[in-house]
Amino acid sequence: MDKELDRLQHLSSFALDYDSYHEKLEPFVELAKTITDSPVCEINIIDAYNQWTIGRTEKDLKVIPREESICHDTIEKNKPYEIKNLQKDKRYRDRDYVVGAPYFRYYCGVQLTTKAGVNVGSICVLDQKEKGISDKKKEHLQYLANLVVQYLQKDQLVYRSKGKLHDLQQRFRTLNHDLRSPVNGIVGIVDLLLTDEDEVEVSAEDLLMIKDCAEAIVDEIDSVLSPDKKTSNKSGSDNILLEGVFEKVKRLNAPPAQNKEISFKVESQTDNNYSISVYSSRKLIQIVSNLVANAIKFTDNGGRICVRYALVENDEQKVLKVIVEDNGIGMNGDKVDNFNSGEKVVGSSGTAGEESFGIGLQHVRQLVAELGGKISAESSIGEGTEFTVLVEAQNL
C-alpha cells in the first residue's frame, strides 16, 4: 500500500494536464498502430481512482474507473502484457468493451516507466480480432513508451521551473513584508523628529536624507514586485483564471459522473477574475478531481455532487475555500475522526462495486499539504459527505 501511495505521489509531481496532450501525442499513437498493425492505440495514465487516456485516435477525453482498466494490471508488471483473446480470459471476458462495442479481443500494453523506475501508465494497442505480435514489435512498442515518458518528463521540467518561479515570487512577497515594516518605521520616526525641532540633535537636511533613502528602498521593492504583484492579480502567461481552473475540473469529471447518471455541478461564489499560477492550478485540479472521484465512487446512480468555491476572509487573510459535497452513502464517525486527525481511512467498495485501493484520501491530504492548505470532512451514514479544503490565496 505504501508503494502505491509513493507511486501516486510520484505521478502527482508531473501535474499532468490530462486533456491537453492528445494532439501532441498523436504521432506516437499513429506509429504504435502502424508498428503493430492495430486499429486502436491508447496512452493511459493510472491515478488513484481512474484511468485517463491522454493520447488516442479520437480527440474527446476518455476516462474509465481504474478497476475496469487492463492497463491497471499492466503497470503491475515489468514487461509487455499481451492477451491474445480477451474473450477467452476470465479476468476480462465480461468487460463492457469485450461483450459490447467495440468488441475488443486483442490487447498488448507496455509500461510507461519514469527515470525513477515508477510505472505511471502504459501505451497499449487493441484489436477486434484475436492475434499476437512478435517480440520485435513489442520491443519497438517499448521504445515508443520510452519516448512518451521522455516527452512527459520534459513537460514536468517546465512545470517544476514554474514551481520554482512560484516559490521565488513567494519569497519576494515575504521580503516585501519583512523589509517594508522596519523601513516604514524609519520614515515614521524621521517624520516625528522633524515635527519636534527642539529634540532634534541632527540637521533637518540629514533627517530628510535618511527619509529619502528609506523611501527609495520601499520604491525599489515595489519596482521589483510590480510586474507580478498578487494584489493586482493580473492574468498573464503563467497565470490562469480561477474560473478556468474549475471549468477544467468540471470538464474532466463530467464523463465519469455521467456514467453513473450522477448530477454534477460546479458553483462559483466568488470573483472569477481572480487568477492563480499555473503551478498551483494543476495542484488544485488534482485535489478537487480526486475528491470528486471519491464522491462518484460512493454515490449511488442518480445521486448528486456539487463543488462550490469562494474566496473568503479568514483571520485577515484571503483564503480559497473549496467544498465537495455529495449525497452518497457517507462515512461513519470513526472514519471521519480518523481522516480529520490525519490517520489512515480504511477503504471500502463503491456503490457500484468499484474496487477500493485504500489510498485515495491519503493522497489528497498530501496534495493539500503541498499547497500549505488544510482539509476536513463532515459525514454521516446515509446522508452524504462534505470535504472542505482551505488554502491561503497567497500560496496560489
pLDDT digits (tens, 9 = 90+) for 243-292: 989 998 998 889 889 889 999 999 998 776 788 888 788 889 999 999 99
Tally helices (H) and strands (E) across the chain. 10, 13
List the beta bridge partners of residue 305.
264, 326
Residues 141 and 8 occupy one common structural domain: yes
Q: Is the pLDDT assigned to residue 106 strictly greater than 60? A: yes
Q: What is the pLDDT of residue 95?
A: 93
List the beta bridge partners of residue 108.
82, 125
Q: Which of 19-28, 114-123, 219-228 has the highest mean pLDDT?
A: 114-123
**257-292 burial, b if ≥16 CB within 10 A, otherwise e?**
beebebebebeeeeeeebbbbbbbbbbbbbbbbbbb
- CA–CA distance, 112 with 124 (Å, rounded to integer): 10
Residues 246 and 134 occupy one common structural domain: no
Residues 51 and 92 occupy one common structural domain: yes
Q: Specify the pairing of strand 62-65 against strand 81-83.
A: unpaired
Q: What is the pLDDT of residue 219?
A: 66
CB 292 within 8 A of CB 365: no
Residues 313 and 385 occupy one common structural domain: yes
Q: What is the pLDDT of residue 189?
A: 66
Q: Say what angle helices 204-225 and 135-195 make with each other, to 10 degrees.
A: 160
Residue of 40 and 232 predicted with greater confidence? 40
- CA–CA distance, 291 with 31 (Å, rounded to integer): 36
CATH code assigned at 121 = 3.30.450.40
Residues 377 and 272 occupy one common structural domain: yes
> How many domains, the chain?
3
Q: Is the pLDDT assigned to residue 33 strictly greater than 60? A: yes
Residues 15 and 76 occupy one common structural domain: yes
Q: What is the pLDDT of residue 235?
A: 45
Band (pLDDT 50/70/90 cuts) for residue 231 is very low
Domain boundary among 159, 188, 208: 159
Q: What is the pLDDT of residue 228?
A: 46
Residues 22 and 135 occupy one common structural domain: yes
Domain boundary among 228, 247, 273: 228
Domain annotation covers residue 22: yes
Domain annotation covers residue 211: yes
Domain boundary among 228, 249, 271: 228
- CA–CA distance, 260 with 257 (Å, rounded to integer): 6
Mean pLDDT of 188-206: 64
Residues 196 and 130 occupy one common structural domain: no
Domain annotation covers residue 353: yes
CA-angle at 23, arms to 130 and 101, nearest 5°: 30
Residues 388 and 312 occupy one common structural domain: yes
Rama region for 44: left / alpha / beta (φ>0; ψ in -120 to 50; rest): beta
- CA–CA distance, 46 with 12 (Å, rounded to integer): 11
Domain annotation covers residue 303: yes
**Which H or E run includes 391?**
strand 385-392
Q: What is the pLDDT of residue 207?
A: 60
Specify the length of the chain in residues. 396
Query: How high does pLDDT run on average in the chain?
Result: 84
Q: What are the CA-CA distances from residue 281 to residues 245, 312, 371 (Å)? A: 6, 18, 10
> Poorest-confidence range of 30-44, 333-347, 361-375?
333-347
Domain annotation covers residue 314: yes
Q: Specify the pairing of strand 275-277 against strand 263-268.
A: unpaired
* Residue 204: Cβ within 10 Å count: 12
Q: Is the peptide bond before 102 cis (omega within 30 degrees of 0)?
A: yes
Residues 135 and 188 occupy one common structural domain: no
Domain annotation covers residue 114: yes
Domain annotation covers residue 62: yes
Output the nine-digit C-alpha cell for 272: 472569477
Q: Is the pLDDT assigned to residue 317 strictly greater than 90? A: no
Band (pLDDT 50/70/90 cuts) for residue 229 is very low
Q: What are the CA-CA distances from residue 73 to residues 61, 68, 281, 309, 349 (Å)? A: 22, 10, 30, 36, 19
- Structural domain including 181 reads 162-228
Residues 50 and 184 occupy one common structural domain: no
CATH code assigned at 344 = 3.30.565.10
Mean pLDDT of 108-118: 95
Band (pLDDT 50/70/90 cuts) for residue 23 is confident
* Residue 59: Cβ within 10 Å count: 9
Residues 379 and 263 occupy one common structural domain: yes
Output the nine-digit C-alpha cell for 369: 499539504
Tens of pLDDT along 37-94?
999 999 999 998 899 999 987 777 789 998 899 999 999 999 999 999 999 999 999 9
Domain annotation covers residue 234: no
CB 221 within 8 A of CB 179: yes
Band (pLDDT 50/70/90 cuts) for residue 360 is confident
> Poorest-confidence range of 78-82, 122-126, 196-200?
196-200
CB 248 within 8 A of CB 221: no
